[in-house]
Structures are given as structure tokens and as C-alpha cells.
Structure 1
Amino acid sequence: MYVGCETKASDVKEMTKTRALVVENTTREVLEIYAKKKLSSADLLALENLNKDLDKNTDLNKKAEIARKLSAKWYDLGFPAIAGAYAEMLAEWFPTPEAWSIAGTTFGQAIPQKEDVKVREFAAAHAITAFENAISLAPEDWTNKLNLALVLTEVPPQDNPMKGVKMLLDLDANYPDNARILFHLGRLAIQTGQFEKAVLRLEKSLKLDNNQPQIYCLLERAYRETSISDLAEKAAEKCRNSIK
């Protein structure tokens, strides 16, 4: 038993070290090099001109406006991790809760890119830092805590894989009638096969906020897995209508 635990701890340390190296060796500049290979000449020229303006300007307000344009441009081109890096630049220059929240949310859009480990790990690490900074500046704002928890559930720390889930449960305890928190707890319950819990959480979320069309697709699955066929059919119809 002891040997098994020791091996597991060693594996965790090695995976954590590998993840740290991936993040350390990935920078905005590195991501841009690879991304630019996929861009048109017109887009490359637009980015080059913006970067020249960014480098030559010394006025921080003007630099911030250019960085904002670069972030928007990269986001529109489909590279949210790079867009997040420019949003992070803005937050470092003008550190407000809103700026850090925008940076974290932008990085978060890159996390679903599971096929690219470097981008995913880079985005997750920077999203976590951004949301932590936002929380430190505005500890009363639960939305940043929720977003941080969601990042941690998507890319769990190797040494504490349940950290994100525990954060969500703590948020639910502190904000028991929060539709968004309940929605995500219900979604995670489905992912882990806890379908009865999913039904309870999603139904409560919907009762608190009935303007959640995407929730019906989750409810359909939860109802079917708990053999509530009539409600599953109704949820399925509403799910289809929500994605038309």
C-alpha cells in the first residue's frame, strides 16, 4: 500500500513538473509565430501595423488602446489565447477587477482547445492568475470566483484535482439561490454520472432563472438517465428549439 501511494505521488509531481514546463516555455510571442502561419497577408499586415504602433507609442493610454485593438483582432481571428495575452497586458497597465476579469474570460475561451496542449495549458495558467487577481481586488464579486472554479474543473491541478468542484460547492453554500452556480453544478453532475443530483440542481436553476435555453439540453440527458421519459421529451423539444 505504501509503495503504491509513493508511486502515485511521484507521478503527480512529474505531471505537475511537465505542465509547469509547458507553460513556462509557451509565451505570447511563441503562440503568435505559429498562429501567423495560418493568416492571410491582409491580416498579417494589419497586425504588423498595430504592433509597430504599440512599440513606438510611449503614452500608456494610447498603448492601451492599441493593445485593446490587438486583443480584439486576435480574438476575431480565432486565437483567444493570444487575445487573452493582450487583455492581460491591459490589466497589468491598468489593474482593475474588470480588466483582470476580461483577461481571464478571454483566456478561458482557449481552454476547450484540447487538441493543442500547449495552448490549453498556457491559457488555463494565465486565466487562473487573472481571476485570482480580480478576486483579490474585488473579493465580494462571486462571478470571478465562479469563473476560477470552472477553469479549475476544466484543467484540474494535478496535486488537487477536486479543487474546482470544491470551490463550486463552497459557492453554492454561500450563494444557495444562484442560478448560474447551480447550472454548472448540474452540468458537472451529468459529467460524473450523478444524474439525480443533476436533475435537482438544474430544475432549481431553471426555477430561479427561466431564461436559460441551453439548460434544456442538459435536462433532457438527466431526465433520460433517471427514466423520467415524459419530461425528457419535453426538454428535448425545448432543446431543439433553443439551437435552431
Structure 2
Amino acid sequence: MMNTIRSKQAILIGAVILLTVFLFTRDIKGLVKPKQATTGVPAVGQLTSAGSTINLTEVSTAAKNSINANLAAEITTLENAYKTAPDDEKMNAAKVLAEKWDDVEQAVPSALYLEIIAGKERNLNNWLAAGGRLMKAFDNTQDSLISPVLLQKANTAYTNAVALDSTNLEAKTGLGITIVNGMGAPMSGIAMLLDVVKKDPKNLKANMSLGTFAIKSGQFDKAITRFNDIIAIKPSPDAYFYLATAYENLGKNEEAVDAYLNSKKLAANPTLSNFIDKKVKELKNKN
């Protein structure tokens, strides 16, 4: 029995390692992040920011060092314009910066500017925009120091959105996802996401979060049902990959092979293809 448990854990850890690669290649987003499976990291429902903050200037400097020098110079000009703008023009300058940072795929500084905007112009759309960009930053970052802060900020943004409109499904979905990812008791987030899916069965974000939670909690039968539902709505490489992982953990190797190959086909990613070719060979040898 212990060997079976260890085997399943090894499969899941292997899947997480692969997904780590995709977070670096950025071809597949929103998958299980390695820091959630790393020794010493709080379990689901226990991730906290411990009073940490994110310095926008430091984030901006680091982001500019990772992009084209001409684009970095353009952003510096926009930042100077933002800093010197009169109060009645400051938010427009922040919006320009948020979109410019997003255009160059730097979600963290983009999200922080959207958060500033939402804090000044406190309406539903602004909080939703801030929450969405903060979660994008959370999904993409590999920085274990700022990751929990981004999640906390996203949680706050969606909490404010729900306070303005408790019936808004985008707000409830975002809030539920932040809770499941570590902001509070995960089952309350699950209940919120289940309510969203009840009202909107084709909600991909809510369904994906429920599916990944089922994987992480070892509820592989539920994960299979969830990811098959997702694939019926909109097939995607990550949905097929998670489906394959769930099948593999239950010893359903033929089904796992089919799902892995579908993931490979849709992603058309060399890193994924190489992994899946090895995985498929391994599973076929078990039959």
C-alpha cells in the first residue's frame, strides 16, 4: 500500500516538474506552480504574505532589465510622465503604463498599476481588471517572495469586486480561485467555485480551478470528470495533460496515453512533445 502511495506521489511530482518547464516557456499558463509542491511551502489554504510588500520601483527595474532596451527606455519615459502628471491626469498615465507593461508580457508591474487605478477609481471593472492581472502575475512568477503578496493583492481586489456586486460571476470566480490557491480555508473557495459552475456550467476558469484542486488533493476520479467536462467545452493542452495525469494515477494507462497525445498535438511544443514521447513509451511498456 505504501509503495502504491509513493508511486502516485512520484507521478504527481513528475507532472509538477514538467509544468514548471511550461511556466518558463510560457506556452501553457495557469498550471500547478512548483512552489506549491516544494518542501517547506505552506499547504493549500495556508499561503500567506507574512506582511511582505512589493516595491514598484524595484519590480520595474528588474522588468526593464529583461526586455529590449528601446522598449525599456520608452517605459522609463512613461514612468516619468506618470510621476510628474497632475492629479487629474495621473490615472490615465497609470492606465497607459499598465497596458504597456502587459504588451511586453511583464504582468507584475502591469498589475501593480491596475491596482493603483482601482484604489483611486473604486468601481467594479477596475477591481476586476486588477484582480485578473494580479492572478496572471501570480501564475507566471517564479519569485517565491512576491508570489504570496500577489495572491493577497488579487484576493483583496476580488473581495472589493464582490462587495460591489455579489452576483458577478467573474468576481466570485476570481475570489474562489485565490482562496483555493492559499487565501483562507480552501473548501470555502471550492464552495464558491461550485456555485459559479452551477450558475455557469461552461465557466472555464472555475472548472479548471476545481479540476486542479482535485488533482492536488488526490481526488483523481473527480478530476477526470472535471477535465472531461472542460475538454467538451474547449479542448486545451493543459486540460488534456491534467486528465492524463489523473488517469495515470489511477493506473488507467491506455486512457492516459490518449490524453497525453492529445495534449502534445494541441500544444505543438517541443519540450512537451519530448516529455510525452517518453511518458507514452513508459506507459505502453507497463501494459
* Separation in structure 1 between the aligned mates of residue 122 and residue 73 of structure 2, nearest angstrom: 30
Q: Are 2:155 and 2:183, in contact at CA under 8 Å, matched by a contact in 1?
A: no
Cα distance change on mapping 1:200 and 1:81 into 2, 3 Å: same
Q: Is the 8 A contact 2:49 2:152 kept in 1?
A: no
Given the alignment of the two structures, is residue 103 of structure 1 paired with residue 127 of structure 2, yes or no? no
The yes-or-no answer on 1:93 pairing with 2:120 is yes
Answer whether contact 1:111 1:154 (CA < 8 A) is retained: no
Separation of aligned partners in 2, 1:36 and 1:241: 35
Residues 142/71 of structure 1: CA separation in 2 closer, same or farther (3 Å cut): same
Deviations 1:52-82 (A, max 9, x none): 222333363x433321221122234443221
SS at match of 2:225: helix
Deviations 1:172-207 (A, max 9, x none): 4x4373442333212221122211111122223444
Q: CA contact under 8 A between 1:156 and 1:163: conserved in structure 2? A: no
User: Does structure 1 residue 151 correspond to structure 2 residue 183?
Assistant: no
Instruction: Kindly report the root-mean-square deviation, in angstroms, between the aligned alpha carbons of the 2 structures.
Output: 2.9
**Structure 1 residue 106, shift from structure 2 partner:** 0.8
Q: Larger relative contact order (C-alpha < 8 A, sep ≥ 6)?
A: 2
Shift of 1:107: 1.0
- 8 Å CA contact 2:56–2:112 kept in 1: the answer is yes
Equivalent of residue 220 in structure 1, options 231, 244, 250: 244
Query: Against the structure 1 CA distance between its residues 117 and 183, is the aligned structure 2 distance closer, same or farther, given a 3 Å change threshold?
Result: closer
Aligned partners of 1:241, 1:34: CA distance in 2, in Å? 35
Distance in 1, Cα, partners of 2:207 & 2:67:
40
Residue in structure 2 matched with residue 27 of structure 1 by the alignment: 55
Structure 1 runs not aligned, ≥5 long: 1-11
Q: List per-residue Cα deviations over 1:101-138 (Å, max 9, x = no partner).
A: 11111111221356423321221121111111222222
Choose from 92, 108, 112 the match for 1:65: 92
1:232 to 250, 253, 256: 256
CA distance in structure 2 between the aligned counterparts of 1:228 and 1:196, rounded to whole angstroms: 11
TM-score by length of 1: 0.75
Secondary structure, aligned partner of 1:111: helix
CA contact (8 A) 1:179 1:204 kept: no
Distance 1:85 1:41, change over 3 A: same
Q: CA deviation at 1:92?
A: 2.9
Q: Are the counterparts in 2 of residues 31 and 82 from structure 1 also a CA contact under 8 Å?
A: yes
AA aligned to 2:199 is Y
Letter in structure 2 aligned against 1:183: M
Instruction: List runs of 5+ in structure 2 lacking aligned partners.
Output: 1-41, 269-287
1: CA distance, partners of 2:236 / 2:68:
37
The answer to whether the 8 Å contact 1:153/1:164 transfers is yes
How many residues are paired up? 221
Q: How many Å apart are 1:36 and its aligned residue?
A: 4.6
Cα distance in 2, alignment partners of residues 179 and 125 from structure 1: 23
TM-aligned CA deviation for residue 50 of structure 1: 1.0
Change in CA separation of 1:103 and 1:179 when aligned onto 2, cut-off 3 Å: closer
In the other structure, the counterpart of 2:190 is 165
For residues 5-154 of structure 1, what are the structure 2 equivalents within 5 Å? 19-23=49-53, 26-36=54-64, 38=66, 41-58=69-86, 60=88, 62-112=89-139, 115-154=142-181
- Within 2, Cα distance between the matches of 1:183 and 1:92? 29
Distance 2:228 2:140 in 1: 30
Give the Å deviation of 1:242: 0.9
Give the equivalent residue in structure 2 for 1:241. 265
Any idea what the Cα deviations from partners look like across 1:204-239, whole Å, max 9, x if unmatched?
A: 3444x1x23232222222223233344333322321
* Residues 81 and 119, structure 1, Cα contact 8 Å, conserved in 2: no
